[in-house]
Amino acid sequence: MFMNRMKLSAVLAATLIAVSLIPVTASAQAPRSPVAPRRELVESVVREAYDKFKGETSGKNADYIPYLAQVDSKLFGVAIVTADNQVFTLGDVNYSFSIQSISKVFTLALAMEELGPDKVFQRIGSEPTGRPFNSVAAVVDMPTHTGNPLVNAGAVATTSLISGKDANERWGRILAFYSKAAGETLTLIEDVYASEAATNAGNKALSMLLAKYERIYADPFESVDIYTKQCSVGVNASQLARMGATLANNGMNPASREQVIKREHIPYILATMTMAGLYDSSGYWAWHVGLPAKSGVGGGIVAVVPGKGAIAVFAPPLDEAGNSVKAQKVIQFVANKLDFNLYSPASVGLK
C-alpha cells in the first residue's frame, strides 16, 4: 500500500515535470481554432489554389468607376487570419485596394451597435433581391424598397442610420469602426473617392427613390456621399482577412482582442452575408461554397468560417454579377479542401 502510494506520487511528479516542459503556444490562449493544428495543410492548400488559379484570365475589371478600370488586373493576393490570430499570406497582400461593397457588412454591424438588430431589420429588411446590386427595379418592386443592407439601396439607407451631428462626424464614426475591425488605422483612397463621386448618378437616383418611399433616414445626397467614401476605404488582403476574422471570432478582433461587434449580432450579420453577400450569385455560392462572404467591385472577397477564421482574396477581374472570378475560385477550392463548407456532409455530421 505504502509502496504503491510512493510509486503513484513518483509517477505524478514525473507527469508534472513532463507537462511543464511542454512549451506554451499561442494557440493555448485561444484553443478554439481547429485551423491551428493543421498549419501545414492550410499553407499547402492555399498555395495549391494560388498556383492553380493565377493564370485564370476570365472576367474584367469594373469600369463604371473609372479608377477601377486602371487597376492592374494581374494583382492577386490571398490572406487567411484565424480566430487565434495566425496569419497565412500569399501574393500581393500589401496592395491597398478599395473595399467597395464589403464595407456594407461593417456599416451594418455599426448600425446594429447603435440601434440594435430589431430596428435595423425594421428599417432596412433582409430579403434577397435576386437582381443586380444597383437595381432600381428592386427598390420599386420590393415591399421594403430597401431590400437588404448589402445591395446599394439598402446600404445607402443603412449608412443613413449612423448617428452624428453632421456628415463629418458620421463618416469619422464609420471609418473608426472599420479600423477597429481591421485592428489598424484605415484611410480613404482619395482618387477612388473622386472617381466614384464623379460617376455615381445611379446611386443618387436610388437614394432619391428611397426618399420617395420614406426609406432613407438622413439627407439622401449626404448619405450617398458618405456611402461613396465608405466604399473608397483602402484595405489590403491581410487587413480584409482580419476584418473577416473579427466576424469569425464572435466580434472580437483576434489581434487587438477588442470586442468590436457585440457577439449576439454576429449571427444576423453572417445570415445576411449568406443570403446576399455575392448579390444575385449568392445562391450559387451557398450551394457550392457554403460560407458567409462578401464581395466588392474593387476585386476583394472575404469569406468567414465561423469560430475558425476568414479568408480574403484580392484579384480585380469580375464576373457578370460583379464578383471577383479568381477570388471565388480560390475560396471555393480552399473551403472544400479544408472542409469549411458549413453545409457539407462532414459539417452536418453525415460522415
CB of 265 to ligand GLN, least distance (A): 22
What CA–CA distance (Å, rounded) separates 299 from 287? Answer: 22
CB of 206 to ligand GLN, least distance (A): 9
State the distance between the two ends of the chain, measured CA to CA, in whole angstroms: 48
Q: Which is nearer to ligand GLN, 36 or 99 (CB)?
A: 99
Q: Determine the size of the site formed for ligand GLN (CB under 6 A).
A: 11
- Please name the amino acid found at residue 239: Q
Q: In the bound complex, which residue of the shown chain has the CB atom lying closest to ligand GLN? A: 101
Q: Which is nearer to ligand GLN, 231 or 303 (CB)?
A: 231
* In contact, 46 and 337? CB cutoff 8 Å: no
Residue 204, all three cell numbers: 443618387
- Please name the amino acid found at residue 266: I
Other Cβ atoms closer than 10 A to 57: 10
CB of 327 to ligand GLN, least distance (A): 12
CB of 196 to ligand GLN, least distance (A): 6
Residue 316, all three cell numbers: 480585380
Task: Please identify which residue in 322, 328, 332, 334 interacts with ligand GLN, judged by CB under 6 A.
Answer: 322
Residue 181, all three cell numbers: 475591425
80 is a contact residue toward ligand GLN (CB under 6 A):
no
100 is a contact residue toward ligand GLN (CB under 6 A):
yes
CB of 340 to ligand GLN, least distance (A): 24
Q: Which is nearer to ligand GLN, 297 or 335 (CB)?
A: 297
Map grid coordinates 476574422 to a residue: 245
Task: Please identify which residue in 101, 107, 236, 253 interacts with ligand GLN, judged by CB under 6 A.
Answer: 101
Q: Which is nearer to ligand GLN, 85 or 324 (CB)?
A: 324
Residue 330, all three cell numbers: 480560390
CB of 245 to ligand GLN, least distance (A): 21
Task: Please identify which residue in 61, 134, 135, 146 interacts with ligand GLN, judged by CB under 6 A.
Answer: 134
Is residue 77 helix, strand or coil? strand
CB of 283 to ligand GLN, least distance (A): 17
Map grid coordinates 457539407 to a residue: 344
Map grid coordinates 439607407 to a residue: 157
Which residues between 202 and 221 bind ligand GLN (CB under 6 A)?
Answer: 203
CB of 72 to ligand GLN, least distance (A): 18
Helix (H) or strand (E) holding 311: strand 309-314
Map grid coordinates 478599395 to a residue: 98
Query: Phi then psi for 242, rounded to 5 degrees?
Result: -70, -35
What residues contact residue 117 under an 8 Å CB cut-off, 6+ apart?
A: 265, 268
330 is a contact residue toward ligand GLN (CB under 6 A):
no
Task: Please identify which residue in 76, 133, 178, 340 interacts with ligand GLN, judged by CB under 6 A.
Answer: 133
Residue ranges of alpha helices (H) inside 22-129 are 39-53, 66-69, 103-115, 117-123
Site string for ligand GLN, 135-174 (x = CB under 6 A): -----------------x----------------------
What CA–CA distance (Å, rounded) separates 54 from 6? Answer: 64
**Which residues sit at the interface with ligand GLN, rule CB under 6 A?**
100-101, 133-134, 152, 196, 203, 231, 296-297, 322
